[in-house]
Amino acid sequence: MIDLYQYKVAWCPICNQGWVEIAKDTSSKELFLFCEECESEWDDPLNIKKDTSTRDKYGLVEVPSLAEIQDKKWYEYIIKDSNAYDARILEISQLTEDQIQAQYKKWGIENPISRLLYFVTIEVNKILLKGLGTSERDWNYSLINKEIRILISFENAGTIKKCNFQFKGILQKEDNIYLAIGDVIEIDESGRSFLLDCGVIITRALRANFKNIEVGDRVLIESIEFSLCNIEFEK
């Protein structure tokens, strides 16, 4: 699977498990709509329905550029993320092989595909955050001291509790591990993630299952991994 998430346009009506996203056929270079979960395809962002989908009409897919999407006049259909920010890259450090294996073990992946992982320190809204960046292409060292558009999220959210704290915020515990207190402002249709307003930032929190949490609740998340996704190159 590749990272098309930044160009999502609708929730999939076929499998009800993933986003329909703008993709590009690697051979024809044609743009189309694609669900990575069930591999359903569409040609028109205004006609994403059960009875209008196709399968195997297109071949291998790649991530299109923002310019290609704009040329296709599809940019307006992209669902904009509240957790997208302009951030300055301050530091990029590659994880050692031992750190990479420890990270995959934490994720429960026994036979990982060999890939590079990075810790990336950013400045956003006048605060410093350290997150895990997972793409060699997006996190090359030439980005240091430059400003790019990123998505920020908390992965593998630990224990989530409702709380009555009068303040919101995030606290770094180690490397990219944080504690967060914030208000739930949106719950994803899939029920696997929610937007958390921590005061200084709004971030998406990902977790397989969470119960008894509703929009408007103030919650405490005791241990979460902060991750970064580069959605646009430098400005």
Q: What is the pLDDT of residues 150-176, one digit of tens each?
A: 878 887 667 788 999 999 998 988 888
Angle at 12 between CA 11 and CA 18, to 5 degrees: 80
Q: Judge if 90 and 185 occupy the same domain.
A: yes
**Domain extent at residue 61:** 5-77
Q: Judge if 121 and 220 occupy the same domain.
A: yes
Q: Judge if 141 and 199 occupy the same domain.
A: yes
pTM for the full model? 0.63
Coil, strand, or helix at residue 35? strand
As a whole number of angstroms, the distance between CA 21 and CA 40 comes to 10
Residue keyed to tokens 């609740």: 217
Q: Judge if 121 and 35 occupy the same domain.
A: no
Q: Judge if 182 and 119 occupy the same domain.
A: yes
Q: Judge if 47 and 154 occupy the same domain.
A: no
Q: Judge if 206 and 136 occupy the same domain.
A: yes
Q: Judge if 98 and 56 occupy the same domain.
A: no
Q: Judge if 60 and 92 occupy the same domain.
A: no
Residue 235 gets which letter from DSSP?
-
**33-82 pLDDT tens trace:** 998 888 999 999 999 998 999 999 998 888 888 889 889 999 888 877 77
Cβ distance 118 to 133 under 8 Å? yes
Q: Judge if 66 and 173 occupy the same domain.
A: no
Instruction: Mark which of 77, 103, 137 sits at the end of a domain.
Output: 77
Cβ distance 31 to 22 under 8 Å? yes
As a whole number of angstroms, the distance between CA 212 and CA 120 comes to 33
Note the Cα 158 to chain centre separation in Å: 18
Q: Judge if 169 and 200 occupy the same domain.
A: yes
Q: Total domain count for the chain? A: 2
